Amino acid sequence: MIIKDGIEIKLSPLHKISNYLIEGLSGLGLIAIFLGVWQIGSEFSGSFILPAPLDVLKRSFELITSSNSQISLTIYRTAISIVLAFIIGWVLGVIAGSFKTLAKIFKPLMDIFLAMPPIIWIVLALFWFEFGDMSVIFTVFIAIFPLSFANSMLSVITLDNRLNEVCIAYRLNLIKRLKAYYLPHILPYLLNSLNIITAMGVKIAIMAELLGASDGVGAKIADARAYLDTTEVLAYVVIMIGIILLFNFLVIKPINIIFLPWIKEN
Amino acid sequence: MIKDSLIYDFFAHPMRIYYIFAGILAIFGALVLIFRIGDFISFHQFIFLELFCAAAFCGFLFTAVPDWANYKKSLMSYSISGFLILILALISQILGFNGHIFIAIFWSFLALVVSFWLILGKNYDNFALIFLLFSITLVEILGLFYGLNSYALLHCYVAGIILIGFRVSMTLGNLALDKKFGKDNNTYTFIPNPILKNISFLSIITLAYATLLNLNLETQGFIAFGAGLITLSLLAQWHYKFFLSVHYTLIYYILLLGSGILYSAFGLNLLLGLDFSSKILHGITIWTLLGFVFFIFNVSSLRHSGQVVLNLPICGKMGLGFLFIAVISRVFLSDFWDSFYITVPAIFVGLVFLMFSGRYFIIYKNNPFTDDPK
């Protein structure tokens, strides 16, 4: 980096994103080295306990290119749940955060929801919606909704009122106030929440499909478990982790770079 | 009288004698290959990988480490001792004895001397360097008993180049900034990313140990591929228009780019079970090892010969082009014509160091040694 008077010089968002993408190769490199360590583990434990990473990667590739992998079904279910949980959680969170009485009312409810193990929701969803889409979508939604809600409520509660007074004193209109006051404070919470619920959503969706659906990645993993096919189980794991990492790398971080340039990534 | 002589100056400032010696060794190695002298395969390996690199690293470290450790005493005894050990190694190898013993002694000597200086100067920030020097020593000593693992040694050297290159890159970046804004008006400072440098170093030294321990090819492939990608990630910090328009930062960039591509290709080659290992490793040797060494020779020689504004002589710029031709010949064209396999690369590598030795001997002769003008 180039610094002037102890401060890093400003770069255009495009330059920053290009640097970010190239520096991202180091993350990919570290994953490759981790795969090397995995390979050693595979040599010691045997391919049944821990299949070789190259075999797992090859199988992952086959699954991605195959029409029978049902990855898209799981992504579809997860995406619906995440979008709903994110939007509803944020709207309700903003409302609850704006009115202290509502915040007080919702607080114990949210604590209960947050403490509830997702597995309970899976069992309940099976009773309520039977096997299939609805049961999985509901489970994922109900498990991640409290996270989105709590983050949203917290972001509004922690707004600094003194800055608001400054905005009023300078008679800033709503757009300027959004740009200078609300967004810089709320956006980190928003992105953090999106990051967490995406990762949680994918994990819970797979678990819900494993226990409460006859299709989707989770169900495929259950089949692979029945056939003792460790390679296939790990291949699905690799794909789903890859999707989470890619989403984080290509969506969350670039938004951070563009809209929150003061937040240090490294 | 002796103190005024050129030879005294060269040994008192070890960079000079060792760089010129390394250049002569490279020319000798190229001649051995061109004229197929004796067991030229193992002999050229001994010259390039062991003697040349030992001289090159020693020249740099005997100049830089006393500066980092604030060691002010004469370096004469150290430089003469090291030089004699290398000469003994060369002679014993020519006479058919085992020159590797002296190389192992040399690296032990270098590791101990550098550690001693750093400890004496209470400089505890160079663990990576100490670790590297003892790793090379270990490879050499193990080589005496089990046969030299030349690829592990090559990766150790490249790890060393990453370490040394980091220091050099800091100088290059700041000189480029001086050039753009004017030395007196420049308020900007270039700081290369030390975390990426550390990760890059660790990945390549891990590859060296994986090779030394003879881990399976897939493991080595993954580590090499990772090391290549990490090396490529170092490029991001050079993506400024003025860095890519100044010749020395552009050269550094191109060397780094080639190294990253070659290591990634090496990793993929091992992972996919292809048969290009030897070609790519020669590419790494010529481009990364010889290329960086040649470039660092140029930069450090000029900086320590009173040149405040860095401007590589024409031979320095042409050298890189010659090395590029040598790499293309050895890696891509060697299947088409036999001469592209050994003769053409050897001629171009020989020419690079012939130009270097001739030009820099004159520069050293005409300019007194100066400290780095920081």
Strands B188-190 and A2-4: antiparallel
Nearest to B157 by CA among B171, B140, B172: B140
pLDDT over 90 for what percent of chain A?
38
At B250, which helix (H) or strand (E)? helix B247-271
Q: Identity (one letter) of the amino acid at A204? A: I
Contact call for residues A30 and B199 (beta carbons, < 8 A): yes
pLDDT greater at residue A8 or residue A80 = A80
pLDDT for B141:
96
Note the pLDDT tens digit of each residue in A236-255: 999 999 999 998 888 888 88
Q: Which 8-state DSSP code applies to residue B236?
A: G
Residues from chain B contacting residue A23 (CB–CB below 8 Å): 193, 196, 233, 236
CB pairs under 8 A between A and B: 100
Residue owning tokens 């190259």: A54
Q: Which of A26, A30, A39 sits opposite B218 (nearest CB)?
A: A39
pLDDT for A47:
85
Q: Identity (one letter) of the amino acid at B286? A: I
What confidence tier does A257 reach under pLDDT thresholds 50, 70, 90? confident
A7 touches chain B (CB under 8 A): no
pLDDT for B109:
96
Looking only at Cα atoms, what is the longest distance across chain B?
63
Closest approach of A266 to chain B, Cα-based (Å)? 9
Q: How far apart are CA B26 and CA B14, in angstroms?
A: 18
pLDDT for B211:
96
pLDDT for B1:
58
What confidence tier does A133 reach under pLDDT thresholds 50, 70, 90? confident
Residue owning tokens 């006051």: A181
pLDDT for B2:
65
Contact call for residues B149 and B139 (beta carbons, < 8 A): yes
pLDDT for A169:
87
pLDDT greater at residue A187 or residue B185 = A187
Q: Please state the rounded mean pLDDT for residues A166-189.
A: 85
Q: Which of B173, B206, B229 sits opposite A28 (nearest CB)?
A: B229
Nearest to A157 by CA among A91, A89, A86, A99: A99
- The pTM of the full predicted model, rounded to 2 decimals, is 0.89
Residues of chain B with pLDDT under 50: none
Closest approach of A27 to chain B, Cα-based (Å)? 8
A2-4, strands of its sheet edge to edge = A7-8, A2-4, B188-190
pLDDT for A37:
95
Name the average pLDDT for chain A.
88
Q: Please state the rounded mean pLDDT for residues A202-215.
A: 88
Q: How far apart are CA A61 and CA A232, in angstroms?
A: 11
What is the ipTM metric for this complex? 0.90
Q: How far apart are CA B59 and CA B298, in angstroms?
A: 12
Residues from chain B contacting residue A12 (CB–CB below 8 Å): none
pLDDT at A266 over 60: no
Left if phi > 0, otherwise alpha if psi is -120 to 50, otherwise beta: which for A216? left
Chain B residue closest to A35 (CA)? Answer: B222
